[in-house]
Structure 1
């Protein structure tokens, strides 16, 4: 089991790394929110232990990014003990909330409980700006209006939304949507992107799918 600890207090981070490591877990540590986000994007974790007050990107913001992309269990471990903070953390999608100072025995019990819940469910709904995708109902809306997509267009949009803000290469998109490798000179991805844009971008002033020259495509709200 791999656990990511996002904690800016070095002493606490080392304590958690050592304790959880001795309890049989593989532990990686990020000392700020941006490094935590990078590790989350690069690897897969079974549990994330997250502080609230972090430099660069605070815990609230990082949790929102996580929940747009991943169902990974998140345990807040923070000195913020107000009831409204606990409520906010749980409403944003945290699975548990533990206040510092804490007992390691209690922390370990909560970690084991979260990990025993089994594989998390896939994220079922995605929203960026006024674009929404409901995975279970296979329904897409933009500005409240239903958008009709083919199966491949739906799969392509789902991929872009699930990796919001990440530049995806044409080869990666092809392998994920069409489950095969395409020659580098094929334009199948470009054609699919163009058709998808015609439905979810062209009729609206706010454009969400962007071309990154020489690299691929990204779905995000740009200033």
Structure 2
């Protein structure tokens, strides 16, 4: 029986690509007196390129930007500090996020999250989306000292929810870290489509978050039907 639904954050619930574009644009305007000798388009494009969709931490990104653009009025440490303080104000959810979570809550599903990243930074973003209260457990890799796709973090999440891995569905945008990582411990892995990946094969694939409750309903019905067959 499916009892719990777990989520990744970036690229699954948080539209990080759009959030980042908004942030970098605002950062440039905010710090124009210090970095404005570089054209805005060049700054934004290079930042996004170096960021590599979040897989490169911003200390490296800003060090590279300072070196390439020759910033002398601001250090990479100050740029990073600005990122840590301001990104949460630019968080954009994917469509239907709150409605989908309400639907799962109304179905009495346990809801959890496993996200790679830095603890307070990720928690700030979760709170900015206004969704923290929907989750019975939130595991952030820095605070857990283990990250996806390590089986331990998936097993730990199931344990915190008081369910078996086989009673969990995990939804994420990364085929290896999320979908396969969850499947490796016996969870059902569901892929949230992402334009970065074009050849992902999976039994459960969603494009819009509102597709999730219906799939959960199908899985629950299947469990009940199988149970009835076994009882006969």
Regarding TM over 0.5, the answer is no
Structure 1 length-normalised TM: 0.32
Asked which structure has the greater RCO (Cα within 8 Å, sep 6+), the reply is 2
Structure 2 length-normalised TM: 0.31
Between Structure 1 and Structure 2, the one with more helix by share is 2
